[in-house]
Each structure stands twice: as C-alpha cells, then as structure tokens.
Amino acid sequence: MRLVSLDVDIAAPRDMTRRHSTVATFTLAAVLFAGPLSAQEQLPIRNCTWCHGSSAQGFANAPRIAGQTRQYLEMSLQSFKNHARDNPYSKQYMWGATANLDAEMAHGFAAYFSELPAEPANDGDAALEDQGKAIYSEGLPDENVVSCIVCHGPKAQGYERIPRLGGMGYAYLKRRLEQWGEGYHAAAEPMPRIARNLTTNEINALASYLSFIK
Ligand code: HEC
Ligand code: HEC
C-alpha cells in the first residue's frame, strides 16, 4: 500500500473543488492507514468530553480532568462507581457516567486524560491570592489546619493519588472544600478532616490562589 500524501491547500480557500478533494483524500488515508484500533482509541472519549469540555479543561459544573494524575483519576472513577463519593453533583452526574465502567476502561480513561495538557482556569479573586498562598504553604497552626504543600506539592501539581489542584476552576475547588465540611464523603482521607477547619473566607482564598497556578 502506498501512503496517500495529504494535500492540504489552505492558500486557496475559494477553490471549493480542490478543498473537497483534499477532504476526500484525508478520509481515504485515515481509513487505509488506521490499522487495528488500540485499546485507548476504542474508548468513547466523547461520553466524557460532552460534559468536561472538548479538551477536558472543564465546563459548567464538570471540572477540568486534563492533566490530572492518572492514579487520582482512576481512584475517583472507582469512588463514583461504588458511590463512596456522594456529594450532590457526583450523584447526579458521575454515578450514572460510571455505572457501566469496568476497571480496564477506568484505567484507559485515566491514562488518556492524564496525558492531556492542563490549562489554568484563572478565575479566582486576585485580591485573595496572597492570603491563599500563605495558607497553602504554611497552613493555619492556630486552627489546626496543616499546610497543603506537604501533600499537593510546591506547584500544586499533585502526586499519584494526591490530585493536582493548580489551575483548577475556582467554583469547583470552593464547592469541594465546602462540601467536605458539610459531611459529604471523599474517596480517601484526609480531606474531610482538613476541610472542616476552614472558614468560608479561607476557602475562597485557597480556591482563588489555586485557580491562578499554571
Ligand atoms: C453528565 C455530565 C458528565 C459526564 C457524561 C461525565 N462527567 Fe465526570 N463529572 C461531571 C461533574 C458535574 C463532576 C463534578 C462532581 C463534583 O462536583 O464532585 C464530574 C467529576 C468527574 C471527576 C472527578 C474530578 C476531580 O477532580 O475530582 C472525574 C475523574 C470525571 N468526572 C471523569 C469523567 C469521565 C472519565 C467521564 C466519561 C466516562 C465523565 N467524567 C463523564 C459531569 C460529567
Ligand atoms: C495529608 C495529605 C494532604 C494534605 C495535607 C492536603 N491534602 Fe488535599 N487531598 C489529599 C488527597 C489524598 C486527596 C484525594 C482525596 C479524595 O479525592 O478523596 C486530596 C484532594 C483534595 C481536593 C480535591 C481535588 C479535586 O480534584 O476534586 C482539594 C480541593 C484539596 N485536596 C485541597 C487541599 C487543601 C486546600 C489543603 C490544605 C488546606 C489540602 N488539600 C491538604 C491529600 C492531602
């Protein structure tokens, strides 16, 4: 089989006949050379990006999952499936989305999304950034809040089952921290215990600071 060259001619956009033949050539090439699909290509990624955004940077209530650690993504999917993560949006959206997910698919989705580049949401309150940074780095010893940096890392990049927080959306981070204080469960300790000691103002500051991290 001969490799069909992709004749993309963007210099002549008004030449519709030529553009159509280019599209046809591309489709043909894709059909001829796709070969057997790898496990990852068989995953119905659109079942997820439908809610999480086309490049998985988050959309509406669904958080960014692009660039999240693989182990955390996999653990989260399991926690929705076995209903351990029980806050309202998890129940409403993710329990259904994971109902028919087997372990192999969860592994595949986690591997796929962890490889995508993560973009910062940049949507917090800039006036609270310094306060958030101080709590993140030093904790609040008087209120029995440990520093976040010891687990989530200096750039909030996460590690294995500890999620990357840097650049996640403000509203999502705020909601997560508040809901643990309200008694909803997590996939793993220790977050409910830590979040219970944070005030609304401290949560706003942390969520703001984190949303700006690249
Ligand atoms: C109907 C919309 C919808 C669909 C479909 C959906 N999600 Fe979600 N997902 C959400 C929402 C909303 C949340 C936030 C839950 C919360 O607030 O705790 C979420 C949360 C998550 C989380 C937790 C992220 C974190 O940082 O803790 C992961 C992982 C996830 N989804 C992966 C997926 C994957 C993989 C698929 C496809 C198999 C998928 N989602 C399909 C709406 C959806
Ligand atoms: C001892 C280690 C540890 C410390 C300290 C810690 N975390 Fe976490 N954090 C975790 C783990 C593990 C998870 C995953 C737990 C889960 O999803 O149930 C997590 C999850 C989170 C999430 C959820 C992210 C998502 O994608 O849904 C947020 C938000 C968070 N932590 C914020 C913080 C903040 C803010 C602090 C400091 C006040 C902090 N954490 C301190 C270990 C830690």
Q: How many CB atoms lie within 10 A of CB 67?
A: 20
65 close to ligand 1 (CB < 6 Angstrom): yes
**Structural domain boundaries, residue 170:** 126-212
Q: Is the pLDDT of residue 23 over 80?
A: no
Which CATH number fits the domain that encloses residue 172? 1.10.760.10
> Residue 41 domain-assigned?
no
| CA of 136 relative to ligand 2 center, distance in Å | 11
> Residue 83 domain-assigned?
yes
66 close to ligand 1 (CB < 6 Angstrom): no
| CA of 60 relative to ligand 2 center, distance in Å | 22
| pLDDT tier, 11 (very low <50, low <70, confident <90, very high otherwise) | very low
Ligand 2 atom at minimal distance to the Cα of residue 198:
38
What is the C-alpha separation between 131 and 205, in angstroms, rounded? 6
The answer to whether the CB of 87 falls within 8 A of the CB of 63 is: no
The answer to whether the CB of 58 falls within 8 A of the CB of 52 is: yes
Q: How many CB atoms lie within 10 A of CB 8?
A: 11
58 close to ligand 1 (CB < 6 Angstrom): no
Lowest-pLDDT choice from 92-101, 116-125, 188-197: 188-197
Main-chain phi, psi angles of 145, to 5 degrees: -110, 120
pTM of this structure: 0.87
Q: What local confidence, expressed as pLDDT, does residue 187 receive?
A: 86
The residue out of 92, 114, 136 marking a domain boundary is 114
200-212 helix and 170-181 helix, angle to the nearest 10 degrees: 150
> Residue 109 domain-assigned?
yes
**Domain count within the chain:** 3
| Residue 14 sits in the same domain as residue 78 | no
> Residue 120 domain-assigned?
no
Q: State the Rg of the chain over Cα.
A: 21
Q: What local confidence, expressed as pLDDT, does residue 40 receive?
A: 61
Q: Is the pLDDT of residue 16 over 60?
A: no
> Residue 40 domain-assigned?
no
Substitution candidate for ligand 2 out of 68, 152, 159 with most atoms within 8 A of CB: 152
